[in-house]
Amino acid sequence: MPHTTVNMSAHAAQSSVDSIFDHARRDGRPVHVLAPMVRYSKLPFRLLARNYNTDVTYTPMILAHEFIRSSIARDSDFTTCGRERQPTPDGRQHALIAQFASSDPTEFARAAELIAPWVDGVDLNCGCPQSWAIKEGIGCSLMQRPETVAEMVKSAKARLGPSKTVSVKIRIAKDLSETQRWIGIVEAAGVDFITIHGRTKAQRSSTSPDYHAIQSLVAGAKVPILANGDANHPSVLAEIIAKTGAAGTMSARGILENPTVYAGHAVTPVECVQKFMKYAVKHPIPFPLLLHHLSEMTAGVEGMNKREKSRLMACRDLFDAIDFIEEKWRLGDSSHELKS
């Protein structure tokens, strides 16, 4: 858990997630959200997304029981800094949400309470379709237990109070009436908003999301809904909002490939890569993870052919990666700044 990098005195001035939804609604625009991605939604990438019109960022999914049990797990799973929840230089509000996996109301509430000083809200993962998660009674398995989820929402809200949001992320069922009933039960428990991934637990990413299903759920919902699924290009973002009527979009693979998608860029600009390197130097992550980020976000950049990608993937450490970027895109004195 963070200790020295967070300015606790500044927290009172930070905007809540509800405030971001309200401001976006008044401005007539959707809310832009970075999805919780295992390994990839770590601090340097969240800070990068914050620079490019992302309103709310999520941590990777955290196992609540491990987070409660071990300080080592807490330090490993979650890092932050004072800048993360502050408004951006252009004055935009920004918020951070921690996503937990749990199936127990007391456990979820305790994890939420532990992380509360450093985040603006917590989210319960009810959408992970992986077999190990379902076996553990978390993720998509919770779509069969709406009453349990309702108790978890109530417990967390009782611990956190009104200054923090409690949300859930779900997938749709084959029978949409089941999802509608599920949402109604969780809404009655006081959930603040819901993210809906427009695929069933059995559908792979190659299957197109069902935006019509999301639209039907939005129409009957009493709380804001975020639409998730294939939010990977500025034109697609607008299409998703038009088709679903959602309050905003959540991007995962799309923003991983192009962290500037919410800023209207079709491909990642080179200056975004430079910023990412600066954040990664200041807030280190494992080098294989850094290399994967660079591979994803540079894939569409002009001149990044197979040969150049092979050169990038051959980098052995952070300094090799810095040298590659400087040589490839002529970033001038940036390498000296990055290495200092």
Q: Tokens for 198, please give them.
A: 């427009």
Among candidate residues 81, 126, 128, 272, the one labeled active-site is 128
Q: Is 140 a catalytic residue?
A: no
Active site residues: 128
